[in-house]
Amino acid sequence: MFFLCVDKPAGYTSHDIVSLFRVLTGIKRIGHTGTLDPFATGVLLLAFQDATKLIGHIPHVPKRYQCMLDLGVQTETADCTGDVVRQVSVSDTVRDTLETVLAQFQGDIVQKPPIYSAIKVNGKRLYEYARKGESVDIPERTVSIYDIQTISEVDGHQPSAQQVALDVRCSKGTYIRSLGCDIAQTLGTVGHLSVLRRLSSDGVDIAKAITLPQLATLVTIEEFTDWRIALSKEGRSVYTRRSREAVLKQLSLFAISPTEVFASVPTVHPTDFESLRLAQGACLNSLKQRLSAPLNKVLWNEQILALLRKDGSILRVNPSIADKRIAAQS
């Protein structure tokens, strides 16, 4: 059970990356903690095996993005992958009002997710409505922008006269594409994102990410660069994968423990008896009385044994840890 941070390149869906690691590791139970748009790059946190149980419980911590906002051009997807639907001239005075406008977007704001997104409305994802040309009422949501600043470049791309490079710290659920469009509108024009890079998510920073070129050196015998081929059964014959055991050993160098992902969650240290009973599936009143927050983690040998909520619910996280705990007391 572990997490792995991947530096997703542009052109891949989040599901592509999950599928790739299923192929390379032979592990079927893999999920991700938050979708990253196909054109976007950066942090995609994967959960392996029993870590998938934890995805819905990961504490909400600020996310960080950097993006390039292209002014004067509106696309149907609010990014560089969509067809252009409108072009307008950009005033020379836009730069003069930029800082004032950005200040208006700090704090809690209301935004509407883009039609090309994975949010479900009436049981269907928004992009399904968009692809069929169907109209749908998209509910607004309140999100938090903790900080937004202009920067000199994004992922090596320097802004032109009609581009703005931004660094954004925001809450979970924020759509940076929508934020870019709203900023452009407030500036008196239209816009879309040409570059989007996620630098941190779920408390994990891009510095801990493995890139696909690094992955190639770890899991294949020969040099390999096009992972799109590896996603097809026919294409897998063009490279030689190392053994499953060797692949997992190499990936362990980049593994992120659940304890690290849940570092901000208060810890409860059980007695030997309490940890044994908890491993057996019990939720003890003696533990409940020591809970200091709505969500708490119980550690055994520095590994998460369970997550406990003040409402009395319990998530028994890692059966193998529990089995070892019971065996040690037998």
C-alpha dist (Å) from residue 4 to 21, 53, 69, 255: 10, 15, 30, 5
CB of 179 within 8 A of CB of 102?
no
Question: How does 185-219 read in b/e, with b if 16+ C-beta sit within 10 Å?
Answer: eebebbbbbbbbbbbbbbbbebebbbebeebbebb
The pairing of beta strand 267-268 with beta strand 191-201: unpaired
Residues in the chain: 330
Tell me the C-alpha distance between 80 and 20, whole Å. 25
Claim to verify: residue 122 and residue 132 sit in the same structural domain: yes
218 Cβ contact list (under 8 Å, min separation 6): 210, 242, 247, 250, 251
Claim to verify: residue 68 and residue 50 sit in the same structural domain: no
The pairing of beta strand 255-256 with beta strand 2-8: antiparallel
Q: Which residue, 214, 229, 258, sits at the end of a domain?
A: 258
The band of 324, judged by pLDDT with boundaries at 50, 70 and 90, is: low
Claim to verify: residue 178 and residue 223 sit in the same structural domain: no
CATH assignment at residue 182: 3.30.2350.10
- The pLDDT value given to residue 269: 84
CATH assignment at residue 12: 3.30.70
Range ranked top by mean pLDDT from 81-85, 219-223, 243-247: 81-85
* Residue 321 tokens, joined: 């840890």
CB of 261 within 8 A of CB of 202?
yes
- The pLDDT value given to residue 3: 95
- The pLDDT value given to residue 283: 65
Query: Which carries the bigger pLDDT value, residue 64 or residue 156?
Result: 64
Percent of the chain whose pLDDT exceeds 90: 50
Claim to verify: residue 101 and residue 50 sit in the same structural domain: no
Tell me the C-alpha distance between 141 and 112, whole Å. 6
Structural domain including 234 reads 2-61+204-258
Claim to verify: residue 134 and residue 33 sit in the same structural domain: no
Claim to verify: residue 88 and residue 135 sit in the same structural domain: yes
18-58 pLDDT tens trace: 998 888 888 899 999 999 999 999 999 999 998 999 999 99
Claim to verify: residue 140 and residue 159 sit in the same structural domain: yes
- The pLDDT value given to residue 272: 80
Helix (H) or strand (E) holding 301: none
Q: What is the DSSP string of 7-49?
A: EEPTT--HHHHHHHHHHHH----EEESS---TT-EEEEEEEEG
209-220 pLDDT tens trace: 999 888 878 887
The pairing of beta strand 295-300 with beta strand 267-268: parallel
Say what the pTM is.
0.88
Helix (H) or strand (E) holding 91: none
**Residues with catalytic function:** 37
Claim to verify: residue 139 and residue 82 sit in the same structural domain: yes
For the chain, what is the domain count?
Answer: 3
Sheet containing 267-268, strands listed edge to edge, beginning at the edge strand earlier in sequence: 267-268, 295-300, 303-309, 314-316
Tell me the C-alpha distance between 286 and 263, whole Å. 23
> Does residue 126 carry a pLDDT above 90?
no
- The pLDDT value given to residue 243: 83
* Residue 165 tokens, joined: 């490079």
* Residue 286 tokens, joined: 């003696």
Q: Which residue, 185, 201, 217, sits at the end of a domain?
A: 201
β-pair partners for 30: 48
Claim to verify: residue 29 and residue 78 sit in the same structural domain: no
* Residue 189 tokens, joined: 């024009």
Task: Give the helix ranges, DSSP H, for the chain.
Answer: 14-25, 94-104, 126-131, 176-186, 212-219, 227-230, 244-251, 258-261, 272-279, 285-288, 319-329
Claim to verify: residue 25 and residue 85 sit in the same structural domain: no
Claim to verify: residue 197 and residue 89 sit in the same structural domain: yes
Claim to verify: residue 55 and residue 69 sit in the same structural domain: no
C-alpha dist (Å) from residue 105 to 1, 79, 154, 180: 39, 20, 20, 10
Closest CA to 138 of 123, 121, 151, 125: 121
